[in-house]
A and B are shown apart, each in its own frame.
Chain A
Amino acid sequence: MTAHYDQQPVLQARGLVKRYGSVTAIDHADLTLYPGEILAVIGDNGAGKSSLIKALSGALVPDEGEILLDGQPVHFNSPMQARELGIETVYQNLAVSPALNIADNLFLGRELRKPGILGSVFRMLDKKAMEERAQAKMKELGLMTIQNISQAVESLSGGQRQGVAVARSALFGSKVVIMDEPTAALGVKESRRVLNLIKEVRDRGLPIILISHNMPHVFEVADRIHIHRLGKCAATITPESHTMSEAVAIMTGAMEVDDSSAAA
């Protein structure tokens, strides 16, 4: 599936600003995400990518600027509000509950209740429906090396845990999935699986914002690469238009880019 750059962007940030005292974490940053693409966001430590991503996922309220979802201005005060609008985030630190099982984790905070009086009065969980839907989603994403949907997440490897987190975002994300360093905590083999999983999610129609430090990963999966520097977008390139070392040069300021919209 190819991205649709002629269409209206799914998610757009315009002139976002966030200051912490005298420090400006986001300095009039722009970001555009088109349907069906993987947009990588790279930048040196302290460039403000985390703050930008937090603003997009609702974890941080920007001081200035606007965020457009499908062309409509939106405003989030919490990650929950962003999620309700279909923006799911996968966090770097494997944000899953180790003692709970896979199905419980997928539906954590959004549990399904049984129909009828059992659900409405006795608040009874529909464990069967949750397990079935979890099973179906894991299967769809090719994660069925995990045999038992009711096994505790702590018995899974790091890559499998990240798989659970990605499956959760794919299960509920209807517009955008944001992935913050999804391979940072993983080994080589497991990173590979997660990268394939990311492509799988994109191919199923969900655009993805991928934050990563890992240039080979970025150049492998990204359709476009947003380079963040000093709190704003320094350039947007593609893996075809620039090399990895050029990307690093832009990121560190060793190379200037005149036309930041060259790639799209």
Chain B
Amino acid sequence: MSSANPKPSAPVLDHDKVADQAGSGSYVANFESKDSALTRFQKFLHKYPVAAPTIVLVFAIIGFSLLVGDRFLHPFNLSLVLQQVTIIGVIGVAQTLIILTAGIDLSVGAIMVLASVVMGRMAIDHGLDAGFALLIGISVGALAGLINGTLITRFKLPPFIATLGSWNVFFALNLWYSKSETIRSQDIANNAPLLQWLGETISFFGARLTYGSLLMLALFFLIWYALNWTAWGRHVYATGDDPAAAKLAGIRTDRILLSVYVLAGVVCAIGAWVLIGRIGSVSPQAGYTTNLDSITAVVIGGCSLFGGRGSIYGTLIGALVVGVFRNGLALAGVDVLWQEFTVGILIIVAVGVDQWIRKGTA
């Protein structure tokens, strides 16, 4: 990179060029000799962080359709992929919000399971109206997020440690409250069908979409709007990007962080509803890997773990990349362990690419 910029004045010219890529085309040619193709690619990725996962997704789809043929591209299979990534997508929304603030939430999966157990027990064991049980479950999610947010903003604990602790606490509470018992699908279907509603499907052209998948897409749209079109969203980015600068600009960063953790808790509780729809029953052992899967989706989606960079639809693409790889490899008859292997490689490559992008434009 630096070897391609022989003159010391080159960095000053670089941003002119970046600006020009968006504007007139004639100017770009003047600087082509200064930037190698690799450097330009790096800058392109920096400007459009979602580009990398999108490229990977497109190539993965092409690759698997060549490898396993029509079975992969069949609308039913593609809608299956969407169903398979729905929970990770929803929890990924929560995780994205937190990672944008340069935090991390290891407790998202535990919040989801705890909320699902609360929803199930409220509706089945306590005989509450299913809608009311849902609201209580969502309140539990909000409360869990409030606890995380308070630990991080008030007691200044690092998010990793705070949520590592609360993960265990929430998971233990979940085992205690559920008595480690599963609520059977049949009982829910008879007494509180609303809890399973998100698992119902609508079919068209051979594709079967669940209401849960549609809710996930709606959540992505809602949070995309909030992040990009409201002052709150700008403040979330600013807080993650440079908290000191955000504070100097008059943003109450602690409030922003607290709101992000509470919102993430609510989204996780919505994920609990989706989870019940997906598996039918309420199990205190369900969704145990969701924590790390959600981080995987966010990271592959191009969000920077250092905060302030990335976009919410990157996470959707990240989740789809993981879903497509797992599904495609399964259809190709590859052992599950190689699915895990591939996802691991994807994570490492994604973080590596992020580091490389950041290094080139510091």
B31-39, B61-69, B241-249, B258-266 - the one binding chain A? B241-249
B residues contacting the other copy or chain, number (CB 8 A): 32
- Please tell me if the beta carbons of B229 and A125 are within 8 angstroms of each other in the complex: yes
Chain B proximity of A88: nearest CB distance (Å): 11
Instruction: Give the A-binding residues of B (Cβ under 8 A).
Output: 11-12, 14-16, 18-20, 22-23, 47, 225, 229-232, 234-235, 237-238, 241-242, 244-246, 248-251, 308-309, 361
Asked if A124 contacts B234 (CB within 8 A), the reply is no
The number of chain A residues touching the other chain, given as a range, is: 35 or more
- The answer to whether A108 touches B234, judged by C-beta atoms less than 8 angstroms apart, is yes
Which chain A residues lie closer than 8 Å to B20 at the CB level?
147
3 closest Cβ pairs, A-B complex: A109-B250, A111-B231, A95-B248
Whether a CB of chain B sits under 8 angstroms from the CB of A143 is no
Q: In the complex, what's the smallest C-beta–C-beta distance from B280 to chain A, in angstroms?
A: 36
Chain A residues with CB under 8 Å of chain B are 79-80, 83, 89, 91, 93-100, 104-105, 108-111, 113, 122-125, 127, 146-148, 150-152, 154-157, 160
A95-B23 in contact given A111-B231, A111-B234 (Cβ < 8 Å): no
Assembled-state Cα–Cα distance A105/B232 (Å): 14
Given A111-B231, A125-B234, residue A99 in contact with residue B241 (CB < 8 A): yes
Q: Which residues does chain B contribute within 8 Å of A156, judged by CB atoms?
A: 15
**Which residue of chain B has its CB nearest to the CB of A151?**
B19
Distance in angstroms from B99 CB to nearest chain A CB is 13
Kindly report which residue of chain B lies nearest to residue A108, judged by CB atoms.
B249
Q: Are B308 and A123 in contact (CB under 8 A)?
A: no
What chain A residues lie within 8 Å of B234 (beta carbons)?
100, 104, 108, 111, 125
Output the nearest chain B residue to A152 by Cβ-Cβ distance.
B47
In the assembled complex, the Cα of A99 lies from the Cα of B234 at a distance in Å of 10
CB distance from B59 to the nearest CB of A (A): 27
State the Cβ distance, B180 to closest chain A Cβ, in Å. 44
Cα A148 to Cα B235 in complex, Å, equals: 22
Q: Smallest CB–CB gap between B47 and chain A, Å?
A: 8
**Among candidates A95, A155, A160, residue contacting B245 with C-beta atoms closer than 8 Å:** A95
Evaluate contact between A97 and B23: CB separation under 8 angstroms: no
Q: A97 to B245, Cβ gap below 8 A?
A: yes
